[in-house]
């Protein structure tokens, strides 16, 4: 069994959780967010793109994460150029209202471009941008990152549409109620499109890497890498597939149900709960 399956929690966290349970502290309001598991076939097999967050970051400092971030109010724009499944179809898949579904998909594409230089968009519903490495693309990426430019205006300026069909829904997580910063995060998967390449551009990361997901799991278990439980479990889950296409295909037909970890007793201490779907994978470690 993986040592990370049921890591014992420090007493300070247990006390904090009990305070919230007793109504002595009010839970923080969660912020909606989207994260994208970028997939590619490397020489050793399926790989995922990981960023190591700056240690100075207030949330998940020093952790390895997928590209992603919070929804921006302008991601709700109904004028965003759109190709692929309808907003209503995405709402059913993501388990939320259509307006939020539109914003989450937009945020997923925007954050991926901001943090990796990869753009899931094209001049038409069946084409994708081939290269985003030029200085003009970098200027637009920075403008998006600093919120000087909205995703809608960026697409209009470029004559592009969101290729929402390049995304697949994977899972959803809500930060426990006792955490001071909380996010309701939808996880998506996407294959590295066309001839695009990732670039180390995010101001929030100290390093980036492509790595086999099960290699990342082993690195975390060995104490060589840090991940929050959702990222760790997602790597374990995605790592059950041998190719990028197989992993992306596995997202087809998924319906996201948001899971909130809770503190549970093992009889010997307290641990965070795990989604039932991951139990068999963890038992096999």
The reported pLDDT for the residue numbered 262 is: 84
* Lowest model confidence (mean pLDDT) among 55-64, 122-131, 181-190: 55-64
Q: What is the pLDDT of residues 92-104, one digit of tens each?
A: 999 999 999 999 9
Nearest 5°: phi and psi at 179? -85, 140
Indicate the pTM of the whole model: 0.90
Q: What is the pLDDT of residues 85-143, one digit of tens each?
A: 999 999 999 999 999 999 999 999 999 999 999 999 999 999 999 999 999 999 999 99
Q: Report CA torsion sign: 260, 264, 266, 272.
A: positive
CATH assignment at residue 189: 3.90.79.10
278 inside domain: no
Counted domains in the chain? 1
Q: How far apart are CA 155 and CA 162, in angstroms?
A: 8
Mean pLDDT of the chain, nearest integer: 89
What DSSP letter does each residue of 9-56 carry, written as one string?
PPHHHHHHHHHHHTTSSPPPPPEEEEEEEEEEEETTEEEEEEEEEPTT
Position 3 pLDDT exceeds 50: no
Q: How far apart are CA 264 and CA 271, in angstroms?
A: 5
The reported pLDDT for the residue numbered 19 is: 76
Q: What is the CA radius of gyration of the chain?
A: 19
Separation in Å, CA 208 to CA 48, 130, 142, 200, 236: 11, 21, 18, 6, 19
The reported pLDDT for the residue numbered 186 is: 98
281 inside domain: no
For residues 22-48, give the mean pLDDT: 91
Residues near 223 by beta carbon (within 8 Å), at least 6 away in sequence: none
* Lowest model confidence (mean pLDDT) among 9-13, 100-104, 125-129, 199-203: 9-13
For residues 179-195, give the mean pLDDT: 94
In the structure, what pLDDT confidence band is assigned to residue 78 with cuts at 50, 70 and 90? very high
Q: How far apart are CA 68 and CA 228, in angstroms?
A: 14
Sort strands 258-259 and 263-265 into parallel, antiparallel or unpaired: unpaired
In the structure, what pLDDT confidence band is assigned to residue 56 with cuts at 50, 70 and 90? low
277 inside domain: no
In the structure, what pLDDT confidence band is assigned to residue 4 with cuts at 50, 70 and 90? very low
Q: What percent of the chain has pLDDT over 70?
A: 91
Q: Which residue has the higher pLDDT, 60 or 208?
A: 208
9 inside domain: no
The reported pLDDT for the residue numbered 8 is: 54
The reported pLDDT for the residue numbered 149 is: 97
269 inside domain: no
Contact 227, 215 (CB under 8 A): no
In the structure, what pLDDT confidence band is assigned to residue 2 with cuts at 50, 70 and 90? very low
215 inside domain: yes
Residues near 211 by beta carbon (within 8 Å), at least 6 away in sequence: 47, 48, 50, 219
12 inside domain: no
The encoded tokens of residue 31 equal 């912020």
The reported pLDDT for the residue numbered 175 is: 92
For residues 248-264, give the mean pLDDT: 92
**Which residue segment(s) compose the domain that 228 sits in?**
30-259
Provide the 10 A C-beta neighbour count for residue 82.
19
23 inside domain: no
In the structure, what pLDDT confidence band is assigned to residue 1 with cuts at 50, 70 and 90? very low
């Amino acid at each position: 069994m993986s040592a990370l399956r049921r890591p014992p929690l420090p007493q300070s966290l247990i006390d904090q959780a009990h305070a919230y349970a007793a109504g002595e502290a009010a839970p923080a309001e969660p912020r909606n967010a989207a994260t994208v598991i970028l997939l590619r076939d490397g020489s050793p097999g399926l790989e995922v793109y990981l960023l190591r967050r700056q240690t100075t970051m207030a949330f998940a400092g020093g952790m390895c994460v997928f590209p992603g971030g919070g929804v921006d109010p302008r991601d709700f724009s109904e004028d965003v150029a759109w190709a692929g499944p309808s907003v209503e179809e995405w709402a059913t898949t993501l388990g939320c209202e259509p307006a939020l579904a539109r914003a989450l998909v937009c945020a997923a594409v925007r954050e991926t471009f901001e943090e990796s230089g990869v753009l899931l968009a094209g001049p038409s519903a069946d084409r994708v941008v081939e290269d985003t490495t030029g200085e003009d693309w970098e200027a637009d990426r920075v403008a998006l990152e600093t919120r000087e430019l909205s995703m809608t205006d960026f697409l209009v300026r470029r004559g592009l549409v969101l290729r929402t069909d390049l995304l697949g829904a994977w899972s959803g997580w809500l930060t426990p109620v006792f955490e001071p910063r909380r996010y309701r995060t939808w996880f998506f998967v996407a294959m590295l499109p066309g001839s695009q390449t990732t670039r180390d551009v995010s101001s929030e990361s100290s390093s980036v890497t492509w790595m086999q997901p099960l290699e990342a799991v082993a690195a975390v278990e060995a104490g060589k890498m840090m991940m929050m439980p959702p990222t760790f479990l997602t790597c374990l889950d995605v790592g059950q597939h041998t190719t990028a296409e197989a992993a992306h295909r596995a997202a087809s037909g998924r319906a996201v149900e948001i899971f909130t970890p809770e503190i549970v007793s093992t009889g010997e201490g307290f641990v965070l709960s795990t989604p039932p779907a991951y139990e068999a994978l963890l038992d096999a470690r």
